[in-house]
Amino acid sequence: MDNFKIYIFSLFLILFSFGVNAQEQDIAIGNQYFQQADFNKAKDVYDKLLKDEKNRLLIYDNYLATLTGLKDFNTAEKFISKTRKKYPQFPKFSVDLILLYQTNNKTIQADKEINKLKDQTNKDDELLNNIASYFIEKHNYELPKALYLASRAKKGDLFMYAFQLAELYKLTGKTSLLIDELLNLLRQQPNAEILTSVENNFQNNLTKKEDFELLETKILAVLQSEPDNSQFVELITWLYIQQRNFYKAYIQAKAFDMRNKLQGINMISLGLIVFKNKDYENASLFFDYVKNTYPEGANFQTAIYYGIKVKESLIQTTYPVDKSKILSLINDYQQYLAINKNNASQVEVKKSMAMLHAFYLGDVDKSIKLLEEAILSTHDNTMLAKLKMDLADVKLLKGEIWDASLLYTQAEKLVKDSPLAYEAKFKNAKLFYYKGEFLLAQEQLNILKQATTREIANDAIQLSVFIQDQLLIDSVSEVLLDYSKIELLIFKNEFDLAMVKLDSLLKRYPQDKITDDVYWLQSKVFIKTGKYLKASEKLQSIVDNYAADIYGDDAYFTLAELYQEKLNQPDKAKIFYEEFLIKYPGSIFIPEARKRYRILRGDKL
């Protein structure tokens, strides 16, 4: 008897499985007819399948589309209505019925169903959002807007669902309404959280130059009647920063600061943003304003310090570097030391002065003295690591190789497994490279290939590949020895001699694999010395002839950057950024290139 039961049960499973498989095959056949737009045959198969209620939801979407394709609206209406009755918990069936009525011009029935939905969604925000999402999925944007507006009116909150409505206005291309919706919300709820959300929304949804111009016009219209509206001042300043229009940001922020006597706190933070964007002339405006307006204020010394840092960056990026300006800069730092006795500030300033003495005045002994004083004055491991790395750089400058290597190692251990540690390790590897100990350098570079800092990993890979390529040709590569010595000259800021030797290298090895590497170094020197047109020519040579090699993406991105920032050819820059994004999707420069391309195209950042 037991064996018989097992037999019957096994037979049942086989037959059940056969039935399931047969249904699956029928569904697949019906779907195939549907995809081929053979709606009559698809309907025949689906009608057969619909005799088993278990198949209703499995074939729902394709069967409804089939009936619509056949313009069999009566059958479609009955099918949706019956499905909704069986599954009232799913709101999509009500949406489908409304869309069907609209397609079939049954306006009265559609309006009746819409009013039912309004009654339901007025009481349930989750249901409202779900139904709105389904309408949007069906490319119907007017009905979710009507539902949101109805619920807003019912609740008596004229600013509710602002972000949902803004999204709908974006989808329908109604930029002006999108902007109005969010600006009205910000006026009604002026707080930092809403401001950030509004900024993010504008950043994500505005795409054209005209959109941002319209936004600017509307914000300024509010500020004309409400000049002390801090949220809108922050918003217009944010907009100008996004557009890299730093002077306008300065004018707006200064006016607000003067009216409200804010002691320049916002001016400092904005100045730092502009400084980070390397617009040194406009950055100095922010710090000079605070320094001149609030000589007794809490931000006075901060403004002086960053004013000097801006001046330093400006001098260092203007070639040839004027030594008299370096001396003036050091004098500014000394005056700052006299008024600011804070230990951390003293250390930071001595660090800056030391590097000026070493790399621009050639006074390495003075530099070492300042760095050693700073090292004795700090107990912060991060700062101590930075100071030791700087001291190692100066020791390398002086030719004290082993002292430099020891200091890099000490710095790495102080901040183990941090980006700063990877930088110290890379500098140490570069030191052995300069010295001609290429295998030792490569050992450290191979470790750095796995660094969490992408820039360091990228640099390590490039140098490692370069060494490996040269050593494959010759285990004691003369060209590699010459090249590494030239890189050391560039490290020492001995640009003229470096360029002479690079030209000589090209003449001695005209067919060597080193050609693109020489072009790359030459372009870097030309950029450092302000010869941007010559730099672009070298980069163009790499792009034309060595785009697939190790410096291909670097050359493409740097050339685009030069056209954008130095050669004032934004149209060319845009072309190069666009080509770069297509050619080098895995490059570490992709995020920055995409951002810059969008700016040039008139999009958001």
Is the pLDDT at 17 greater than 70? The verdict is no
Q: What distance in Å separates the CA atoms of residue 341 and residue 50, rounded to the nearest whole number?
A: 86
CA angle 115, 120, 126 (to 5 degrees): 130
For residue 90, pLDDT beyond 60? yes
Segment among 161-170, 199-208, 354-363, 540-549 with least mean pLDDT: 199-208
- Within 10 angstroms of residue 414's Cβ, the number of other Cβ atoms is 21
Look at 3 and 150; give whichever has higher pLDDT: 150
- pLDDT 10s digits, 429-453: 999 999 999 989 988 898 887 766 7
pLDDT band of 318, cuts 50, 70, 90: confident
**Where does the pLDDT of residue 11 fall: very low under 50, low under 70, confident under 90, or very high at 90 and above?**
very low
Extract the tokens encoding 58: 């499995």
184: tokens are: 């009205």
| pLDDT higher than threshold 70 for residue 479 | yes
Spatial distance between the Cα atoms of 116 and 226, rounded to a whole number of angstroms: 42
**Sequence spans of domains, the chain:** 513-605
Q: How far apart are CA 472 and CA 113, in angstroms?
A: 77
Token output for 29: 């056949």
DSSP per-residue string spanning 91-128: THHHHHHHHHHHHTT-HHHHHHHHHHHHHHHTT-HHHH
- Between CA 355 and CA 268 the distance in angstroms is 25
Distance CA 323, CA 591 (A): 37
Percent of the chain, pLDDT > 70? Answer: 94
With cut-offs at 50, 70 and 90, classify the pLDDT of residue 557: very high
Which pLDDT does position 579 carry in this prediction? Answer: 92
pTM for the model stands at 0.73
**Residue 247 pLDDT > 60:** yes
Task: Say if CB 415 and CB 469 are below 8 A apart.
Answer: no
Provide the residue type at 146 as one letter: A
Kindly report, residue by residue over 183-211, the tens digit of the pLDDT.
999 999 889 999 999 999 998 888 888 99
What CATH class is the domain 513-605?
mainly alpha
Contact 384, 365 (CB under 8 A): no
The pLDDT tens digits of the residues spanning 404-422 come to 999 999 999 999 989 999 9
Which tokens hold the place of 164?
Answer: 């949902």
Question: Per-residue pLDDT averaged across 482-499, rounded?
Answer: 94
Output 4 or 114, whichever has higher pLDDT: 114
How deeply is 142 buried, as exposed, middle or buried, from its count of CB atoms within 10 A (0-12, 13-18, 19+)?
A: exposed
Q: What are the tens digits of pLDDT across the range 321-334?
A: 889 999 999 999 99
pLDDT at 104 over 50: yes
Confidence of residue 8 (pLDDT cuts 50, 70, 90): very low
Non-local (6+) Cβ contacts of 382 within 8 A are 414, 415, 420
Choose among 556, 591, 551: nearest CA to 461.
551
What is the percent of the chain where pLDDT is above 90?
55
Average predicted confidence (pLDDT) for the chain? 89
User: What is residue 537's predicted lDDT score, i.e. its pLDDT?
Assistant: 95
Tally Cβ neighbours within 10 Å of residue 552: 18
At residue 268's C-alpha, the angle toward residues 303 and 228, to 5°, is 130
Residue 260 to residue 267: CA distance in whole angstroms: 13
Query: At which residue do the structure tokens 């290939």 appear?
Result: 449
Torsion of CA 150, 156, 161, 163, to 10 degrees: 130
Instruction: Give me the pLDDT at residue 42, please.
Output: 86
Band the pLDDT of 19: cuts 50, 70, 90: very low
Instruction: Kindly indicate the confidence band of residue 307, based on its pLDDT and cuts at 50, 70 and 90.
Output: very high
pLDDT value at position 59? 85
Q: Which two tokens stand for residue 286?
A: 């922010």
Query: Residue 476: its pLDDT value, please?
Result: 56
Q: What share of the chain is helix, strand, coil (3-state, %, to 5)?
A: 80, 0, 20
C-alpha distance from residue 154 to each of 116, 182, 396, 512 (Å):
14, 20, 74, 78
Torsion of CA 572, 573, 575, 580, to 10 degrees: 140
Q: Is residue 12 very low, low, confident or very high in pLDDT (cuts 50, 70, 90)?
A: very low
Task: Locate 566 and state its tokens.
Answer: 């130095």
Burial pattern 464-494, b for ≥16 Cβ within 10 A else e, equals bebbebbeeeeeebebbebbbebbbbbbbee
3-state secondary structure of 70: coil
Peptide bond connecting 320 to the previous residue in cis, omega within 30 degrees of 0: yes
The Cα–Cα gap between 398 and 369 comes to: 14
How far apart, in Å, are the Cα atoms of 443 and each of 195, 419, 438, 439? Answer: 50, 19, 9, 6
Residue 603 banded pLDDT, cuts 50, 70, 90: low
* Cβ atoms within 10 Å of 378's Cβ, excluding its own: 19
Residue 90, exposed/middle/buried by CB under 10 A (0-12, 13-18, 19+)? middle
